[in-house]
Chains A and B, each alone.
Chain A
Amino acid sequence: MQTEESTRGRAGYRFLDHTADVYVEARGASLEEAFEYAALATMEVMTDTGKVAPAIERSIEIEAEDRGSLLYKWLEELIAEFDISGVVYSRFHVTGIEEAEGTLRLKAVAAGEELDPERHDQRTGVKAVTYHMMEVEEQGDGYTLRFVLDV
């Protein structure tokens, strides 16, 4: 099923088959790590993140009422950021996902640089993240996220 993957131990991401769009599976030992790989996979759809230097750093905070919505908003933030500023990110550090009074709060730092067609691969633009087939699974040894990107 998978085509390209990046794994570190049991953590990483891979692309699964979906007719029209891009179907991603991201795994991590913690929910934070799974979110980091979800973001990295999303950026990989657009370009080879290996060539993107961590020149610009940005702090990101997201709030949502459940894990699915948190994942949606996290990726939406990064997709929108690219349209607005032209920045693609290649490093993600989710410092924490905490719950308080029924609200989940994600804090992260992302680093990357402005896409330069001279130096960076141009793959496919991501229009949006979708809730279609979205799953957030908790296993004994970590977390698996699955979601579809509309491209």
Chain B
Amino acid sequence: MESVPLERIGEDTWEIPVSFRDGMRVPGRVYADEELMEGMKGDRTLLQCSNVAHLPGIYKFAVTLPDGHEGYGFPIGGVAATDYEEGVISPGGVGYDINCGVRLLTTNMDAGDLEPRVRAVAETLFKRVPSGLGSQRKQFRLDEAELRALVEEGVPWLIERGMGRPEDAGSCEEQGSMAGADPEKLSKRALQRGLAQVGTLGSGNHFLEVQRVDEIYEPEVAKAFGIHGLDQVTVMIHTGSRGFGHQVCSDYLKTMDRAMEKYRVQLPDRELACAPAQSPEAADYRGAMACAVNFAFCNRQSVTHWVRESFQEVFRQPSEDLGLDIVYDVAHNIAKLETHTVEGVNRRVWVHRKGATRAFPPGSAEIPERYRGTGQPVFIPGTMGTSSFVLAGAPRSMELTFGSTPHGAGRVLSRSAAKRSFRGEEVQRSLRERGIHVLTDSMVGLAEEASGAYKNVERVVDVSHRLGIGIKVARLRPMAVVKG
């Protein structure tokens, strides 16, 4: 692996100097403790961070967060902000799974209420929410006109059709409906791939988890998020835009590949393909990307609907009486137009977050009013069988990371290495011994997603907390997992 020069400029802060390579426009900025940094040195994470620093119009630095690991083009766990006028938009800076994200629901049940029925809950969820390879919904299929409306309007479209509560949309980033979505910018194939996949988890690291609150670090903030005490039951949904978003990304990588020649942009990696922000190519991508963003919000919304139905079925009570309210729904693969202060000047920038969660601090106008005193909720899913974390966006994020925190644990073992190290059946048994029910169609997938294949999520969260970009609010421990 090529050695990348690093300067340690703070306990958890490292810089890749702009002098490292000729085309770098800004330095690379990496946030990690020593152990996480050692992991990053083992693959191309740091080199990719320096590649991102080549993007035209990039401001301040190319950021790699504590969960950073090698991706394609951008590292995963990366943030880059480019100028509104003079910068570029890069689909690779968003990723294939556009608006992959996490939604958290709270309930008014506690673990003791759930425990006797946890197996039934898990089985009902597994039955109602399609997961795994090629998961499709048989009883909820849209036609093309409906899919176009769904991706244009987002969560409100589903609520109008009885698949949500009136307040649900307001509890999502972008109110569950990103503006500018233009179905005319979608390929036929993207629409086809999306048709049967609304409301499915998919495979890989996606999951649906029933959890209990295990620890509370900031009781007042937790209360504002609807987390009132230990052992309260929560539900976490982690999925994205499925084949629909993957196709949008593939389509526009090809468009950008051609645009690079047309606009004479040169970059060290083909996967960084981009176009000037004000070009028609970039505008088209934004129109299509917003469709995929809305698709993913709707995906998590319909899963939420079936989660509520599942609880209703098992406990024979209206889901409203059980809670199942949305705390928030956060995107961790997305590009957004935001205003950030760069060297004392407010600038409109395209913030690319690839495996990074927005973490706006208290007082931000973009977050729901009820969170303006606390900072926005951020959810960092653990790996299967390990705890997940609730954080609150904190002021230093605006200065250090363009308002972002990590998005997860980050892999350390390749899937092949994980399969050599773990067997799915054993993973399932050992989780069961610790009281965690795991249901999946894919034992191979279970081995690939074993928690030993990932960085320690607590370490990632602790760096975030120490830096003051996202403060720890609560820890959630899984009780039942439906794994994609």
Binding site for B on A (CB under 8 A): 3-4, 15-23, 46-47, 69, 76, 79-80, 82-84, 86, 115, 117, 121-125, 127-134, 148, 150-151
Kindly identify which residue among B96, B413, B444 contacts A124, using a CB–CB cutoff of 8 Å: B444
Q: Would you call B247 an interface residue if the criterion is a C-beta within 8 Å of the partner chain's C-beta atoms? A: yes
Residue of A nearest to B193 (CB): A83
Instruction: Flag if A19 contacts B414 (CB, 8 Å).
Output: yes
Instruction: Flag if A80 contacts B193 (CB, 8 Å).
Output: yes
Q: Would you call B269 an interface residue if the criterion is a C-beta within 8 Å of the partner chain's C-beta atoms? A: yes
Bound-state CA distance A132–B71 (Å) is 8
Q: Would you call B174 an interface residue if the criterion is a C-beta within 8 Å of the partner chain's C-beta atoms? A: no
Q: Would you call B204 an interface residue if the criterion is a C-beta within 8 Å of the partner chain's C-beta atoms? A: yes
Q: A69-B257, A121-B444, A131-B270 are in contact. List 15 more A-B contacts (CB 8 A).
A: A3-B416, A16-B416, A19-B414, A22-B416, A79-B246, A84-B189, A117-B132, A122-B133, A123-B445, A125-B484, A127-B243, A131-B72, A132-B269, A132-B270, A151-B204
Give the shortest distance, in Å, between A7 (CB) and chain B (any CB): 17
Residues of chain A within 8 A (CB-CB) of B249 are 128
Give the shortest distance, in Å, between B468 (CB) and chain A (any CB): 28
Interface size class of B (residues with CB under 8 A): 35 or more
Give the shortest distance, in Å, between B249 (CB) and chain A (any CB): 7
Binding site for A on B (CB under 8 A): 43, 69-73, 76, 96-97, 132-134, 136, 189, 192-193, 195, 197, 202-204, 242-243, 246-247, 249-250, 253-254, 257, 269-271, 411-417, 419-420, 441-442, 444-445, 448, 484
Instruction: Flag if B133 contacts A17 (CB, 8 Å).
Output: no
Residue of B nearest to A132 (CB): B72
Bound-state CA distance A38–B87 (Å) is 37
Bound-state CA distance A138–B197 (Å) is 40
Bound-state CA distance A131–B90 (Å) is 14
Instruction: Flag if A117 contacts B441 (CB, 8 Å).
Output: yes
Bound-state CA distance A21–B253 (Å) is 18
Give the shortest distance, in Å, between B137 (CB) and chain A (any CB): 12
Instruction: Flag if A20 contacts B133 (CB, 8 Å).
Output: no
> Given that A15-B416, A19-B414, A86-B134 are known contacts, is A127 also in contact with B72, CB under 8 Å in the complex?
no
> Given that A3-B416, A19-B43 are known contacts, is A128 also in contact with B250, CB under 8 Å in the complex?
yes
Bound-state CA distance A130–B250 (Å) is 8
> Given that A19-B43, A20-B70 are known contacts, is A47 also in contact with B416, CB under 8 Å in the complex?
no
Residues of chain B within 8 A (CB-CB) of A3 are 416-417, 419-420
> Given that A19-B43, A124-B444, A125-B202 are known contacts, is A46 also in contact with B133, CB under 8 Å in the complex?
yes
Residues of chain B within 8 A (CB-CB) of A83 are 134, 192-193, 197, 242-243
Bound-state CA distance A17–B72 (Å) is 14
Bound-state CA distance A148–B73 (Å) is 12
Kindly identify which residue among B97, B203, B414 contacts A17, using a CB–CB cutoff of 8 Å: B414
Kindly identify which residue among B136, B192, B246, B271 contacts A132, using a CB–CB cutoff of 8 Å: B271
Kindly identify which residue among A4, A69, A86 contacts B136, using a CB–CB cutoff of 8 Å: A86
Residues of chain B within 8 A (CB-CB) of A125 are 132-134, 202-204, 484
Residues of chain A within 8 A (CB-CB) of B96 are 127-128, 130, 150
Kindly identify which residue among B69, B134, B195, B420 contacts A82, using a CB–CB cutoff of 8 Å: B134
Q: Which residue, of B70, B71, B416, B442, has the highest number of chain A Cβ atoms within 10 A?
A: B416
Instruction: Flag if B412 contacts A19 (CB, 8 Å).
Output: yes
Residues of chain B within 8 A (CB-CB) of A117 are 132, 441
Instruction: Flag if B189 contacts A80 (CB, 8 Å).
Output: yes
Residue of A nearest to B69 (CB): A19
Q: 23 pairs across A/B with beta carbons < 8 Å?
A: A3-B417, A17-B414, A19-B70, A19-B414, A20-B414, A22-B415, A80-B193, A80-B243, A83-B197, A84-B192, A84-B195, A117-B132, A122-B132, A122-B441, A124-B203, A124-B444, A125-B134, A130-B72, A130-B271, A131-B72, A132-B73, A133-B72, A151-B203
Residues of chain B within 8 A (CB-CB) of A76 are 250
Residues of chain B within 8 A (CB-CB) of A69 are 254, 257
Give the shortest distance, in Å, between A85 (CB) and chain B (any CB): 9
Give the shortest distance, in Å, between A119 (CB) and chain B (any CB): 13
Instruction: Flag if B72 contacts A150 (CB, 8 Å).
Output: yes
Instruction: Flag if B193 contacts A20 (CB, 8 Å).
Output: no
Instruction: Flag if A124 contacts B204 (CB, 8 Å).
Output: yes
Bound-state CA distance A82–B204 (Å) is 16
> Given that A80-B247, A122-B445 are known contacts, is A148 also in contact with B133, CB under 8 Å in the complex?
no
